[in-house]
Structure 1
Amino acid sequence: MYQLHYWPTPNGHKVTLFLEESGLPYEIVPVNIREGAQFQPDFLKISPNNRMPALVDTDTGISLFESGAILLYLADKHDMFIPSLSHMGGRAEVLQWLFWQMAGLGPMMGQAGHFRNYAPEQVPYAIERYTNETLRLLNVMDKRLADRPFLAGGAYSIADMASFPWAKLGAQIAGSEVPLPNLQRWVDTINERAATARAYAIADRPDVQNADMTEEQKKMLFQQGASTVKR
């Protein structure tokens, strides 16, 4: 059994995609990041970086933070959505695209979204910088998907689960002005999976619904520094 500490963000969706695809038993523990639940002592015990998602494996007592680490843990423990160590070539393909998303697509798109939608003032250089880098990364994906159905080849994997929630939003940013036909085909394919629909439907639950943020909530989310690290 797993407890998923969750809020409906792209990083939260990554883990629900896996759990719904796998059919593993789990329960949602809402972490309302707009009301400061990520700073509660019990949550910080499992996620010292005060970020969600976090996962508790109630069978082993192991807890994890960082969405990529959670996906890799689940994939290895249950031997699904990643090749085993006996198939190092295929495993390397999955891992490099998983880490590519964690280090590149997610952070760059997060910055683009912040400066485009949430910054208290418009900073043209930042908007251009992060939007352009987002588009560059989406084009890397589009090129990669030109001759294969999924990022690591022929099989759906944790690399796809990690990238999908971000790339889905990115395809909307690109719009029709930046053609990404292979990426759009991949987004549509994953969108059509029944598990994807179930994973995203969790965001409709009353206890995890996002509402418009207040100015105080924006400050809490976007103006953190050393003083916000709870000891």
Structure 2
Amino acid sequence: MAQFTLFAHKSGPNPWKAVAALRELNLSYDIVYLDFAKNEQKSEKHLAHNPNGRVPTLIDHQNNDYTIWESDAILAYLTDIYDKQRNISLPHDDPEYHHLLQYLFFQSSGQGVIWGQANWFNHFHPEPVASAVTRYRNETKRVLGVLESILQDKEYLVAGKYTIADLSFALWNNTLPMMFGKGKHEFKEELPQLDFEKEFPKTYAWHQRLLARPAVSATLKERLQALQQ
């Protein structure tokens, strides 16, 4: 039996953040994919673990079935408990520790929420709403601009090294082509476009460093395999 059970969705970025962290720490896991078309995330069984009815939800079977949800909280839990050498995290008494938390919160509220809405209105909203697509694409570019300013003179967000602060952005960064690509609807209006490498070169280079991590690369391959099943 694997140490962890992860309730996930095959395509959404947030569960795959947890997978990347588990891989970084060489921890074993089984994934239970929930079918959102059947509303399985809102089933009584899953709500017993996660009353918010979303994914990811992680159960640690070697810690008395400790259960935790919210992807960035999962990253913090895994590294606090299992990253004893602090290879991808920081000790709580490190001067940069609260900056690490700062970026996790920024990822959740600034990247995850905004980019999720950008993808929703581009691909899943039943009616075409050009103003919403425009708003969330522009907000996405604003967030990229914030990251660009932060990464002007450094390779990683915190403490001069790769941490879960960086990892938390990687899987969402990978949705940019989908977000700015052809969506569900045709629009007469000219929508904001993105040339990631040209417009945000420091952020693009950082993202390439994240993709080069063996754990991130393997996670993306696992996601692709799951989608093909």
Aligned 8 A contact 2:196 2:204 in 1 = no
Q: Which runs of 4+ in 1 moved over 4 A?
A: none
CA distance in 1, matches of 2:159, 2:176: 21
Q: Could you tell me which of 69, 86, 91 is aligned with 2:93? A: 86
Task: Spell out the pairing of 1:1-80 with structure 2 (5 A cutoff).
Answer: 1-8=3-10, 9-60=12-63, 61-79=65-83, 80=86
Residue 195 in structure 1 maps to residue 199 in structure 2: no
Q: CA RMSD in A?
A: 1.9
Aligned 8 A contact 1:46 1:54 in 2 = yes
State the one-letter code of the partner of 2:17: K
TM-score (norm 1): 0.84
CA distance in 2, matches of 1:12, 1:134: 21
Which residue number corresponds to residue 112 of structure 1? Answer: 118
| Number of residue-to-residue matches in the alignment | 208
Aligned 8 A contact 1:138 1:170 in 2 = no
Deviation (angstroms), 1:124:
2.0
Structure 1 window deviating more from structure 2 (129-138 vs 164-173): it is: 164-173
Per-residue CA deviation, residues 34-86 of structure 1 (Å, 9 max, x unaligned), is: 33221221111111111011000101221011111111111111233221122
Which consecutive residues of structure 2, in runs of 5 or more, have no partner in the other structure? 181-193
Which residue number corresponds to residue 162 of structure 2? Answer: 156
Deviation (angstroms), 1:177:
8.8
Task: Spell out the pairing of 1:142-181 with structure 2 (5 A cutoff).
Answer: 142-170=148-176, 173=180, 174-175=194-195, 179-181=199-201
CA distance in 2, matches of 1:82, 1:199: 19
Which residue number corresponds to residue 141 of structure 2? Answer: 135
Per-residue CA deviation, residues 164-208 of structure 1 (Å, 9 max, x unaligned), is: 111232377322596110111011111112111211122234xx4
Aligned 8 A contact 1:138 1:167 in 2 = no
CA distance in 1, matches of 2:228, 2:167: 22
Q: What SS does the aligned partner of 1:46 have?
A: coil
Hey, which of these two has a bigger chunk of helix by percent?
1
Q: How high is the sequence identity, in percent, across the aligned residues?
A: 31
Residue 209 in structure 1 maps to residue 227 in structure 2: yes
Q: 1:191 to 1:199 in 2, by over 3 A?
A: same
Q: What SS does the aligned partner of 1:55 have?
A: strand
Which consecutive residues of structure 1, in runs of 5 or more, have no partner in the other structure? 212-231
Deviation (angstroms), 1:13:
1.3
Aligned 8 A contact 1:53 1:66 in 2 = yes
